[in-house]
Structure 1
Amino acid sequence: MATKVPLLLTGATGYIGGTVLTRFLRRPDISSFDIRLLVRSHEKAKSIQDLNLGVTVFIGSHTDAGLMEELTSQVDVVIATADCDSLDAAQSTLRGLKKRYEMTGIPPTFIQTSGTGVYVDFVGGKHANSELFDDGNPEQIETISSTAPHRPVDLAIVAGDAEGYVRSYIILPSTVWGISTRLLFDAKISNPHSVQIPYSARAALARGRGGMLTEGKNVWPIVEIHELGELYSLLYDAIQNKHPKAGHGREGYYNAGYEEYSMNQLATSLSQGLVALNRGTNAEPSSFTQEELDKFFGQFAPFFGSNCRCLSTRSKAIGWSPKLGLRDMLSSVQYEMEVLIAKGL
């Protein structure tokens, strides 16, 4: 009988992590995996075990260096989705994977979840003219400042790959949209909502109108949550099958962005949705006041007026083919607001 592939997934109770787990559990070769999860609470660990998914659950935090080093030293694959900015978690994972390499002589696989926020350009909502970053162009990506969002963790992981004891693959989701479903989500174990759009939706609900920073001309790429989960599965296959385009290390960045939206477009959809739900009286959006920016977004307000532009050349080269784009995202906004209202969020 073939040995199962030991795989550790962090962040399974989160939006992306729960979606990735759900996608892997639907793979036809799921019996070839020994999936291990790390979750923080005893209650959620028990809830997952009660689902009888055939996974092993460990209780603890990805920031517990000793625990992470121990767990990662025992697996051939790590998929990290818990916190893209935890350098401590990345370093303890790398130490564990280095031990694994020293035991087996085979570099283990480290799939890290980062974000296209690394490409951010703060333009105050004024325009959409910013550099377009191509994941198939490592020289361009290497020009990004070491202090950009998510960059310190990305660089540490790529450095581990350069040393030869790990093979690193970094997936960069853009604005993720949609409500995730199935398994852990239906059981109310994992969080089904994204961050950016619900943030804007809550602000719109509070003010009775969609809002934007100044003119809202700034743009970000989008990816539907289940299509993002598909990229993780496709990347795993590409790695195992030695796909010629499945680069690692400095050539191992995989953007998850499809079409672009402007903040004005999102704010307009929110305004129209509020009118349809009898929660607003004006279908046209308006600019946030400084007081509103401070109230609804705090220190993250500049991101809502920023550009983030990218191409998913490498992701598409390994077979990723997203279908749900701007029209689908904008048409989903009203329903997501309905769900948030029903949940009292």
Structure 2
Amino acid sequence: MHGHLTIKTHIFLTGATGYIGGSVLTRLLSHPLSDTFQTTVLVRDASKATQFRTMGIKAVVGTNLDLALIQGLAAEADLVIACADADDLDAAKAILRGLKKRYEQTGKVSSLIQTVSTDSCVLIDDANGMNSTENIYSDLDIAKLDTLPDTQPHRIVDLTLVEADREGTEWWIGYVNTYIILPSTIYGKASGPLVDAGLQNPRSQQIPRLVKLSLDRGRAGMVGVGKNVWPNVHIDEVANLYIILLDLIIPHDTERSPAPSKVREAFAHGHAGFYFAENGEHTLYSVSEAIGKAMVDLKKTNDPSPTTFSKDEMEKYFPDGTSLGTNSRCRAERSRKVGWKPIKRTKDMLASVHEEVEYWMKK
């Protein structure tokens, strides 16, 4: 707000019914400036769209395949928050086309917060559970991130966004500021009004996948010997990171104090605009062991110690390969410098496993 004039911030969010996107949308609904947001979501289900509308959210029925629709919605947005399929290059390009069109027509530079690596797969190696690694990436060390080949999972989307921020097109330079969030192993049950209304998936992917396979085989399982290392982060704290970036992006009323200079120095978009989300690390073995202990507690097995997936099991469970045996190590240094303060750590992640096992046993 400037004086008595209310400036509406048009936000277009994809993935609103998903684990991450729904959690971000929940934060938008409870944000102190929520009455200045005009939020639009794209949803597949017409009945869910109706429910969203009753909550004051503009809901458009469509999917990530509706590229012209996505382009049109992006062209109306000050800020796009993309939380749908991290590998969908066509959808990312449609958003960029819409934002470029907006700039050409209005001269306004939009912002795009993109969830690219929903499980920091862009950093993975081929350890197959047999070893850890000392290769650790920082979101402040852009030179090292630049060494990642474009053959890494999700990487081509990263590079497309960075290129759009840096070069725009031949005629228009700087039509978009891009911010790329790279969460790690996200855990915890999402909560809030969207979950309560049945609009949002409240469950993560990685740990539940391992839980379901372990229950299927009757014993906690792991790839190789489970020595590979991954970072972890709670879903609520991932959502907090999006809001911290949003608060640095959108215009505020003059009475709110500006961000400290140290925060502004770390706040970057484009080539340097990568933000990891992690608060601790775990080995695959430790997660599998927690699953095994829960299975013993719940009388699903007699031995808590995990065993290696056999060759036949690997072919059965992972016909297209799996990242479960890989290393992916990172440090969220830039994220912390801009004000992100996660609290939950690896012990909280391991403690959450019992509830996951109990839940999937009933499914």
What TM-score comes out, normalization by structure 1 length?
0.96
Q: Which residue of 1 aligns with 2:288?
A: 267
Q: Does the aligned pair in 2 maintain the 1:130–1:307 contact within 8 Å?
A: no
Deviations 1:162-197 (A, max 9, x none): 021100000001110011011111112111111100
Residue 101 (structure 2) pairs with residue 99 (structure 1): yes
Q: Which amino acid aligns with 2:58?
A: T
Matching residue of 2:352: 332
C-alpha distance in structure 2 between counterparts of 1:294 and 1:44, whole Å: 37
Asked if the contact 2:20/2:83 (under 8 Å) is kept, the reply is yes
RMSD of aligned alpha carbons: 1.2
Q: Does the 8 A contact of 1:130 with 1:308 survive in 2?
A: no
Distance, in Å, in 2 between the alignment partners of 1:47 and 1:197 is: 30
1:78 paired residue number: 80
Which residue number corresponds to residue 114 of structure 2? 112
Q: Counterpart of 1:221?
A: 231
Conservation of the 8 A alpha-carbon contact between 1:239 and 1:246: no
Count how many residue pairs are aligned between Structure 1 and Structure 2. 340
Q: Which whole-Å CA distance do the structure 2 matches of 1:185 and 1:310 have between them?
A: 30
AA paired with 1:168? T
Judged with a 3 Å threshold, the aligned counterparts in structure 2 of structure 1 residues 47 and 298 are, in CA distance, closer, same or farther, namely: farther
Which amino acid in structure 1 is aligned with residue 39 of structure 2? I
Partner Cα separation in structure 2 for residue 63 and residue 325 of structure 1: 37
Return the offset for 1:341. 2.3
Q: CA deviation at 1:130?
A: 4.2
1:121 touches 1:130 (CA, 8 Å); kept in 2? no
Distance 1:212 1:284 in 2: 10
SS at match of 1:185: helix
Q: Does 1:315 align with 2:335?
A: yes
5+ residue gaps, structure 2, are 168-173, 251-257
Q: Deviations over 1:2-56 (max 9, x none)?
A: 131000000001110000101111111111100010111212212323xx32110
Matched to 1:322, the amino acid is P
**Aligned-pair CA distance for 1:110:** 0.4
Shift of 1:84: 0.8
Aligned partner (choices 291, 304, 307) of residue 324 of structure 2: 304
Q: Which residue of structure 1 lines up, in the alignment, with residue 249 of structure 2?
A: 239
C-alpha separation between the residues in 1 aligned to 2:50 and 2:315? 39
Q: Which residue of 2 aligns with 1:17?
A: 21
**Secondary structure at 2:104's aligned position in 1?**
helix
In structure 2, the partner of 1:140 is: 144
Q: CA separation in 1, counterparts of 2:51 and 2:56? A: 13
Q: CA deviation at 1:214?
A: 1.4
The answer to whether the aligner puts 1:199 opposite 2:219 as a matched pair is: no
Amino acid at match of 1:234: I
SS in 1 for 2:178: strand
Code of the residue aligned with 1:151 in structure 2: it is: R
Using the size of structure 2 for normalisation, the TM-score is 0.91
Counterpart position of 2:361: 341
SS at match of 1:321: coil
Contact kept, 8 Å, 2:165 with 2:178, in 1: the verdict is yes
> Residue 61 of structure 2 corresponds to which residue in structure 1?
59
Percent of residue pairs identical: 40
What secondary structure sits across from 1:329 in the alignment?
A: helix
Aligned partner (choices 284, 287, 302) of residue 305 of structure 2: 284
Question: Residues of 2 paired with 1:294 and 1:214: CA distance?
Answer: 14
Structure 2 counterpart SS, 1:282 = coil
Regions of 4+ moved over 6 Å: none
